[in-house]
Amino acid sequence: MALNTTFVAGAILTAAQTNNLPFGVVGYQNYTGGNFTATTSQTAVTGISIAFTGVAGRIYKATFTAQFQSVTSAHRTTARVYQGLTGLTEGVSYAGADDYNELMVIAIFEATGATTMTVQATANAHTSVLLGAAAPNNMVFIIEDIGKN
């Protein structure tokens, strides 16, 4: 989207200009339904899925955040954002043995038509527990329309 640098005093904001602006939140989950255990096998995070209808020519942002506990030994935990079956990006965080850390993933993408976004997680050794209880130990997944392409 090109920046609008043509406004002058007394100008009127048009519908075409407004359509270039971000539309905002198109899907949101604040998951507090329980913890999720990530193992060495990549698995969809329980309760984290957003379906929406993408509009051609728009750009979207997916953000996933969760606290996790590294169980039994120090290792890294990875979360990946998926658009359907396609992995878009991943976030990796490292925690010491029986320690807590924050994990965040942000993906920028385009979508047209029916779109389902999910998150999958894995731990490179042993297990990690993604906390899914009441705030501040909740998992949050949000999809935003951030503007015209």
pLDDT tens digits along 49-96: 999 999 999 999 999 998 887 776 767 888 999 999 999 998 888 877
Using CA atoms, how far apart are residues 82 and 53, in angstroms rounded to an integer?
15
Using CA atoms, how far apart are residues 20 and 27, in angstroms rounded to an integer?
20
Note the helical H segments in 1-149.
15-18
- Could you tell me the residue ranges of all domains in the chain? 24-148
Contact 140, 64 (CB under 8 A): yes
Question: Over the stretch 84-108, which tens digit does the pLDDT of each residue have?
Answer: 999 999 888 887 776 778 889 999 9
The matching CATH number, chosen from 2.60.40.420, 3.40.50.2300, 2.40.70.10, 2.60.120.40, for 24-148 is 2.60.120.40
The CA distances from residue 28 to 3, 61, 121, 145, in Å, are 28, 12, 19, 12
Tell how far CA 76 is from the center of its chain: 19
